[in-house]
């Protein structure tokens, strides 16, 4: 059986280096298998995060040969030359080896209010058009791997976590904004603190999404259009004032201050 060479980042917040390991190749092997081989046979101190090994928990995100990917979904056969580099995602602070601190994503998630059901629909079964179900269903496939957040240059290169929630949270907000029963003015959040205008539609996030969510085309661009329509389009504004277009009647959005976002275990809650 031939070997593969895994060059794995070893280090912490103070620094580190790439370390090479020789791993025997096995049929159907994925990069996460190779990491587990190292942990079991070569160095038990190697840290990585994983849970399902089925591309469904979103835990094993890493940069494989420099590209954000899930380790459990990446076959070693994709690298026929037999040398594979594995590093942590670079947009978030490193804790140890391949493990990074992605808690910022959960704190931001806690600033996004859940579905606010319209008064007339409260307590009743939702009656929805299939087209409306289909539109938001795609967004529910997100496994929160944060590979899209990792590749987005607004977060990664410019570190504008202060001004942009990132593509994952755009998907989340889009799923709520497009929900026919939702009654909250989410466009105010999108325009202001979520920073939808910071995205310049490079589509890098869409390219790396393991769930093949059309993040840019189906979530971000429609959200941009809705914000422009409400806040920056003088014609729509005039038509609304004249009563030609209906006035927006959704409940006003209230921001959760940063200091009131907390993380409890694996979930997030906005502090009461």
Q: Contact residues for ligand FES (CB under 6 A)?
A: 50-53, 55-60, 70, 72
Among 202, 241, 255, 258, binds ligand SF4 (CB under 6 A): 202
Give the torsion through C-alpha atoms of 78, 65, 199, 246, to 10 deg: 30
Of 91 and 173, which has the nearer Cβ to ligand FES? 91
195, 163 in Cβ contact below 8 A?
yes
Stretch that binds ligand SF4, among 85-93, 180-188, 195-203, 222-230 (CB under 6 A): 195-203
Least distance (Å) between residue 65 CB and ligand FES: 17
Q: Which does 72 bind (CB under 5 to 8 A by kind): ligand SF4, ligand FES, none?
A: ligand FES
Q: Which does 144 bind (CB under 5 to 8 A by kind): ligand FES, ligand SF4, none?
A: ligand SF4
If one asks whether residue 201 binds ligand SF4 (CB under 6 A), the answer comes out as yes
How distant is the alpha carbon of residue 37 from its chain centre? Answer: 29
- Token readout for 34 is 């190779």
Among 23, 46, 147, 223, binds ligand SF4 (CB under 6 A): 147
What is the dihedral sign for C-alpha 135, 141, 142, 148?
Answer: negative
161, 74 in Cβ contact below 8 A?
no
Q: How far apart are CA 103 and CA 206, in angstroms?
A: 22
Of 92 and 164, which has the nearer Cβ to ligand FES? 92
Quickly tell me which residue has 């006003």 as its tokens. 252
Least distance (Å) between residue 28 CB and ligand FES: 15
**H/E segment holding residue 64:** strand 61-64
Among 60, 72, 109, 142, binds ligand SF4 (CB under 6 A): 142
Quickly tell me which residue has 């380790």 as its tokens. 71
Least distance (Å) between residue 164 CB and ligand SF4: 8
2, 23 in Cβ contact below 8 A?
no
Q: How far apart are CA 64 and CA 176, in angstroms?
A: 33
Of 121 and 198, which has the nearer Cβ to ligand SF4? 198
Count the site residues for ligand SF4 by CB under 6 A. 29
Q: How far apart are CA 192 and CA 164, in angstroms?
A: 9
Quickly tell me which residue has 């629909």 as its tokens. 121
> Segment 204-263, which members bind ligand SF4 (CB under 6 A)?
204-205, 208-211, 213, 215-216, 220
Instruction: Identify the three-state secondary structure at position 269.
Output: strand
Q: Which does 115 bind (CB under 5 to 8 A by kind): ligand FES, ligand SF4, none?
A: none
If one asks whether residue 144 binds ligand SF4 (CB under 6 A), the answer comes out as yes
Q: Which residues bind ligand SF4 (CB under 6 A)?
A: 142-148, 151-154, 167-168, 171, 199-205, 208-211, 213, 215-216, 220
């Amino acid at each position: 059986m031939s070997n593969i060479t895994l060059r794995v980042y070893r280090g912490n917040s103070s620094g580190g280096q790439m370390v090479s390991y020789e791993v025997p190749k096995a049929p159907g092997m994925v990069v996460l298998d190779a990491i587990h081989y190292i942990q079991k046979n070569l160095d038990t101190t190697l840290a990585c995060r994983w849970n399902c090994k089925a591309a469904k928990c979103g835990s094993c995100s890493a940069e494989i040969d420099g590209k954000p990917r899930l380790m459990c979904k990446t076959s070693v056969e994709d690298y026929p030359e037999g040398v594979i580099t594995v590093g942590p995602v670079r947009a978030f602070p490193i804790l140890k080896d391949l493990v990074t601190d992605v808690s910022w994503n959960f704190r931001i998630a806690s600033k996004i209010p859940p579905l606010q059901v319209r008064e007339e629909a409260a307590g009743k079964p939702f009656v929805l058009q299939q087209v409306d179900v289909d539109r938001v269903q795609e967004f529910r496939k997100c496994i929160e791997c944060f590979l899209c957040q990792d590749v987005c240059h607004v977060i990664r290169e410019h570190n504008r976590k202060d001004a942009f929630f990132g593509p994952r949270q755009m998907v989340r907000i889009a799923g709520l904004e497009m929900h026919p029963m939702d009654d909250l003015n989410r466009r105010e959040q999108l325009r202001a603190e979520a920073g939808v205008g910071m995205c310049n539609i490079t589509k890098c996030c869409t390219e790396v999404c393991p769930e093949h969510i059309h993040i840019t085309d189906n979530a971000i661009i429609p959200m941009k259009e809705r914000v422009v329509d409400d806040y920056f389009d003088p014609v729509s504004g005039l038509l609304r004032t004249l009563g030609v277009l209906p006035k927006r009647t959704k409940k006003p959005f209230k921001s959760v201050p940063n200091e009131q976002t907390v993380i409890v275990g694996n979930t997030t809650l906005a502090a009461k």
